[in-house]
Amino acid sequence: MKNKPLILISNDDGIESDGIKALAREIRKFAETIVIAPATQQSAVGHSITISNPIRAKKNLIDKNFYGYAVEGTPADSVKLAVRNLLKGRKIDLLISGINHGSNTAINIIYSGTVSAATEGTILGIPSIAVSLASFTYNDFSTSAKFSAKIAKTVLKKGLPKGTLLNVNVPALPEKKIKGVLVTKQGKSFWDDRYDSRLDPNRREYFWLTGKMASLDKSIEFDQKAIEEGYISLTPVHYDLTNYEMLDEIKSWKIK
Amino acid sequence: MKNKPLILISNDDGIESDGIKALAREIRKFAETIVIAPATQQSAVGHSITISNPIRAKKNLIDKNFYGYAVEGTPADSVKLAVRNLLKGRKIDLLISGINHGSNTAINIIYSGTVSAATEGTILGIPSIAVSLASFTYNDFSTSAKFSAKIAKTVLKKGLPKGTLLNVNVPALPEKKIKGVLVTKQGKSFWDDRYDSRLDPNRREYFWLTGKMASLDKSIEFDQKAIEEGYISLTPVHYDLTNYEMLDEIKSWKIK
């Protein structure tokens, strides 16, 4: 018992989602596992944190005799509250965020609550992994949960450099159809989106976001194309957003 | 009239904030200016977008005879709705997000709604600038607004590379006390935060986030230290989050 690693699990689909339950079931086989996740669905919240309002946490049944904490907040709130308060003083060996329903590749990384929870873990000094299953409809988390356990064990052994998380995307395929694992870069694909303009029953206009991902990545060296081709994608993601190549260019503007 | 650039202004403090009004006043002197911003305060929303609910926009008086649109959504929603619907078909020459009350340096860049609006502009192909005034209490936006106009004119002339925005932080000082302009990198400073645990009137626990920025940057080559030392800071920020240096390391793990 003493030698078991302590793994914190969070997500953005909420503590009641199938993905987090499947993940916890697999991780509990080898680690002391604590689930602290948003009480409700938080997709596309990005790296949102709650500062102007209080948040609450309550015990929540995850599985038979296994409880977690549901946090009334965002994914980043959940991780921050876990580390700064609920698990204060305990050494968390690894954080896993997921398993998300839907891929988090290319531009979606910046909108993603799943990645955001792992980013917050990284900021707080915990090796962190985000795991997503590349489908909104495929409900079989068994392959992605098994792979999560495998990658978790590897990261526990190898570590991750300060400030870098691992963003994992698993194709929505049965295990034997997955072609392999690729280390990838964040793709350039983005949303070709638009707003549906509609009228409410009182004849006032409202807008609803819709659209589809414009797939711009032609090579499996990019995350989005890798999963489209049936590979599991691993992308090292950091939050140093400086475009270093531009520093000299802007200096040459000589703005005073 | 025909030769005036079209500049879209947004922010995260909301359309009624002093910072956006001061900015619009200065930009209107040389550009056709359209203000489309959140109806309410949106600080720390990160790159949050609204996908599960409809959003609305309504006309809002900014200044005498000058109207903008207040969007019931996040900063990224406001920019997306502006580009994809409200201003559809028009060529937007520049987007400016701000002027934010409070700095957006170091780790705060990833929590920032101000930067998020500029990021969304960048994703949509518009040269974009985020401007923040480094104080929550200093209410004189005159210097930061004048500098915004100066940097706007420069970016209109020089352009910005695809996928990169300019993150501008102005110290809370009168113009003559500002030491100069520095091109900087995103700092490593982060929040040394904690949760106040309190009891509500019904004796149920709630948590409130508090803390202060742990200043880790000792050199003015970083944004946070530059503004602490009285310089205006310009940081080129992109949303390619790949940690390229880690690609080979992870490949060497040979995960199958």
Amino acid sitting at position A172: A
Token pair for A63: 């599985």
Q: Taking residues B210-225, report their average pLDDT.
A: 92
pLDDT tens-digit profile of A180-215?
Answer: 999 999 999 988 999 999 999 999 999 999 988 888
Residues 6+ apart with CB under 8 A from B211: B191, B192, B193, B194
Q: Is residue A21's pLDDT more than 70? A: yes
Provide mean pLDDT across the span B29-35.
Answer: 98
> What b/e readout covers A168-188, taking b as 16+ CB neighbours within 10 angstroms?
bbbbbbeeeebeebbbbbbbb
Does residue B195 sit within a domain?
A: no
Interface contact flag, B150 A238, Cβ < 8 Å: no
Where residue A3 falls among pLDDT bands split at 50, 70, 90? confident
A201 inside domain: no
B179 assigned to some structural domain: yes
Report if residue B193 sits inside a domain.
Answer: no
To the nearest whole Å, the CA of B105 is away from the closest chain A CA by 11
Residue burial B220-232, b: 16+ Cβ < 10 Å; e: rest: bebbbbbbbeebb
Q: Which residue spans within B15-75 are E strands per DSSP? A: 32-38, 57-63, 66-71
Q: What mean pLDDT is reported for chain A? A: 95
End-to-end CA distance of chain A: 62
Ranges A153-167, A233-247, B37-51, B213-227: which has the least confidence: B37-51
Encoding tokens for residue B19?
């910072």
Contact with chain A for residue B204, Cβ under 8 A: yes
A185 contacts chain B (CB < 8 A): yes
Using the Cβ of B154 and the Cβ atoms of chain A, whether some distance falls under 8 Å is answered with yes
ipTM of the complex: 0.92
- pLDDT-derived band at A52, boundaries 50, 70, 90: confident
For the beta sheet containing B66-71, the strands, ordered from the edge strand earlier in sequence to the opposite edge, are B57-63, B66-71, B32-38, B6-10, B94-101, B128-133, B164-170, B231-238, B180-183
- Which pLDDT score is estimated for B1? 47
Whether residue A193 lies inside any domain: the answer is no
Tell me, what's the pLDDT at A2? 58
* DSSP β-ladder status, A231-238 and A180-183: parallel
Q: Which domain holds residue A178?
A: 6-187+218-251
Residue A125, domain CATH: 3.40.1210.10
Nearest CA in chain A to B148: A255
DSSP state of B186: P
Is residue A192 situated within a structural domain? no
Q: Give this prediction's pTM.
A: 0.94
Q: How many CA atoms lie within 13 A of A245 on its CB side?
A: 8
In a domain, A76, yes or no: yes
Distance (Å) of CA B162 to CA A184, B17, B50, B127:
21, 30, 25, 8
Interface of A with B in 208-247 (CB under 8 A): 208-209, 234-244, 246-247
A176: three-class secondary structure by DSSP: helix
Q: What is the pLDDT of residue B122?
A: 97
Q: Is A150 part of the contact surface with chain B (CB cutoff 8 Å)?
A: yes
Single out the residue of A26, A12, A62, A59 nearest to residue A150, CA to CA.
A26
- B101 in contact with A, Cβ within 8 Å: no
pLDDT class for B2, splitting at 50, 70, 90? low
In a domain? residue B197: no
Tell whether B109 lies on the interface with A, counting CB pairs under 8 A: yes
The total of structural domains in chain A comes to 1
Amino acid at B139: N
Q: Tell whether A104 is within 8 A of chain B (Cβ).
A: no
Question: pLDDT tens for residues B86-133?
Answer: 999 999 999 999 999 999 999 999 999 999 999 999 999 999 999 999
Question: How many Å is the maximal CA-CA distance in chain B?
Answer: 65
What residues of chain B lie within 8 A of the CB of A251, using their CB?
Answer: 183
Note which residues in 21-40 of chain B have CB less than 8 A from chain A. none
d(CA A73, CA A192): 29
Contact B51 A41 (CB under 8 A): no
Q: Which residue in B111, B246, B256 is closest to A47 by CB distance?
A: B111
pLDDT digits (tens, 9 = 90+) for B144-157: 999 999 999 999 99
A81 touches chain B (CB under 8 A): yes
Interface A-B, measured as beta-carbon pairs within 8 A, has a size of 198
